[in-house]
Amino acid sequence: MVKNMSASRRGASSAVLILILVAGLIGGALISSYILMRRITTLENDISNLESEVSQISGNQTVYNQNVTIYQNATALSELYAHVKDSVVLISGTTSSGTVQGSGFIYNYTGSMVIVTNNHVVHGATGISVTFSDGDGFAASVNGTDPYADLAVLTVSGTSPSDFKPLQIVRSDTLKVGDPVVAIGAPFGLVGSLTSRLVSALGRTISEQEYTGGFAIANIIQTSTAINPGNSGGPLLNFNGNVVGITAAIVANSQGLGFAVPSNAIINEIFSLVTTGSYNGHPYVGVSGGDMDFNQAQSMHASVTYGWRIGQVTSGGPAAGAGVHIDDIIIGINGTRITNGDEMSSYLEEKAVAGQTVVLNISRGGQTLNLTLVLGTRPPPPA
């Protein structure tokens, strides 16, 4: 009996020892697991920090790549210049007030090489000459002019076809504000000068009282590209080296505010300028007026705060025949919203020609009227 009890006690003691050993193993495992989890958490934090640092490095790399892209664009500009510089010419002449200079570019019109420039560059000039980029100069004559678009086409004497490297003209109605453009010309007589910035606005109008008799030159491209006296008549190019405009004017004392005649004007008029010496397709409405705004609308109790307010209707003109009245407000043409005079002039210049019928959307006394009008032809420009 005593032996059996001793054996039982020994068995119980062994069981207790086993339980203690198992508990120790479990506790050790828990402690090890806890330590392992801490280490995993620490590693995860380290990985997260490393990913953040990699992200920052990637961001810096992106900026670096953008800088490289800009540099590549600068390289492309030098290549563009090398490709087109021989197509740009210096135009010189004499007027009653002295010597005049401007720029122009070579264009291949159905196999005939001509020089495209501004009307105001050659207006009233005699002894006109054209000097190419290599210094060779030749006599030139005016083939055709259009003061209402400030365009002129010249022909050059005494040259061979190999002397000409024409530029390609593309449509300007594909331009968008913010598009990069390049101007090449002879500012202050500095032949072959290149400047580049952006299209800063579209559909502007400018006026050259001396040449147009007060009629607006419409649908003008506004650009931040530096333009100076002598640039007039030179090409405004897109980054493919194609002509999208002809640099024409600047605002005195402005900071980079220049204007260019759109290339669409050349495309529309070149046939007439070359074959007849003029262009007579500019539409004529027979009204004068000014832009509407909130204050005017309040004072005249108008129902609209935009559009173009009629101040005068020319007797016997197209508008008079259509029933347009003083204080009518043109708010649309053919259903296209017109917010100011720039938009009205640009729409008519781009979308219509003399003799075409249009519908004027008029606000009168709180009502909207649709008046059918047959566009006339502008009177001849001042001599």
* Distance separating alpha carbons of residues 87 and 178, to the nearest angstrom: 26
Cβ-based burial of 197 (10 A; exposed 0-12, middle 13-18, buried ≥19): middle
Q: Are 279 and 169 in contact (CB under 8 A)?
A: no
Q: Residue 267 is which amino acid?
A: I
Active-site residue, selected from the candidate residues 92, 103, 120, 224: 120
Within 10 angstroms of residue 52's Cβ, the number of other Cβ atoms is 10
Per annotation, catalytic residue among 92, 172, 193, 232? 232
b/e 240-263 (16+ beta carbons within 10 angstroms → b): ebebbbbbbbbeeeeeebbbbbbb
- DSSP line for 31-71: HHHHHHHHHHHHHHHHHHHHHHHHHHHHHHHHHHHHHHHHH
Q: Which two tokens stand for residue 135?
A: 């210094």
CA 301 to CA 295: how far, in whole Å?
A: 10
Q: Indicate if 150 belongs to the active site.
A: yes
What is the CA 154 to chain-centroid distance, rounded? 27
Q: In this structure, what token pair is assigned to residue 365?
A: 């006394």
How many residues are listed for the chain in this entry?
Answer: 383
| Active site (annotated) includes residue 120 | yes
Residue 265 and residue 353 in contact, taking contact as beta carbons nearer than 8 Å: no
- Look at residue 125 and give its three-state secondary structure: coil
Calculate ∠ Cα 296-297-298, nearest 5°: 90
Round to the nearest angstrom and report the end-to-end CA distance of the chain.
146
Exactly one of 92, 123, 146, 150 is catalytic; which is it? 150
Catalytic residue positions, numbered:
120, 150, 232
